[in-house]
Amino acid sequence: MCADHAHKWPTLSPMKVGIRGLCPRCGKGKIFDGFLTLKKQCPECGLDLSFADPADGPAFFVMCFGCIPAAALACWIEVAFVPPFWVHLVTSLPAILLTCIPPLRPIKGWLVASQYVHKAEEGRLVFADK
Give the per-residue pLDDT at 2.
Answer: 46
- At 37-62, the pLDDT tens digits run 999 999 999 999 999 999 999 999 99
* Burial of residue 77 (number of CB atoms within 10 Å: 0-12, 13-18, 19+): middle
End-to-end C-alpha distance for the chain, whole angstroms: 43
- In the predicted structure, residue 130 carries a pLDDT above the cut 80: no
Instruction: Find the mean pLDDT for residues 73-80.
Output: 96
pLDDT tens digit sequence for 84-109: 999 999 999 999 999 999 999 999 99
CA dist 46 → 25, 115, 121 (Å):
9, 17, 20
Q: What is the pTM of this model?
A: 0.84
